[in-house]
Amino acid sequence: MIYITRRESFNAAHRLFKKELSDEENLKIFGKCSNPNWHGHNYTLFVTVKGEINPQTGLLINLKDLSLLLKEIIIDKIDHKNINIEVDFMKDVLASTENIAIKIWQQLENPVKKIGAELHCVKIVETENNFVEYFG
Ligand code: NI
Nearest one of 77, 103, 36, 128 to 94, comparing CA atoms: 103
Kindly state the percentage of the chain with pLDDT values over 90.
100
33 in catalytic set: yes
Mean pLDDT across the chain = 97
- How far is the centre of ligand 1, averaged over its atoms, from the C-alpha of 123 (Å)? 16
Q: Helix, strand, coil % (nearest 5) of the chain?
A: 40, 35, 30
Q: What is the pLDDT of residue 123?
A: 98
- How far is the centre of ligand 1, averaged over its atoms, from the C-alpha of 33 (Å)? 4
In order of 20, 48, 110, 120, 123, the CA distances from 105 in angstroms are: 28, 11, 9, 9, 10
Among the listed residues 25, 52, 72, 80, the single catalytic one is: 80
Taking every pair of Cα atoms in the chain, the longest distance, rounded to a whole number of angstroms, is 60
80 in catalytic set: yes
- How far is the centre of ligand 1, averaged over its atoms, from the C-alpha of 6 (Å)? 24
- How far is the centre of ligand 1, averaged over its atoms, from the C-alpha of 136 (Å)? 23
39 in catalytic set: no
Look at residue 60 and give its three-state secondary structure: coil
pLDDT digits (tens, 9 = 90+) for 76-111: 999 999 999 999 999 999 999 999 999 999 999 999
Confidence of residue 69 (pLDDT cuts 50, 70, 90): very high
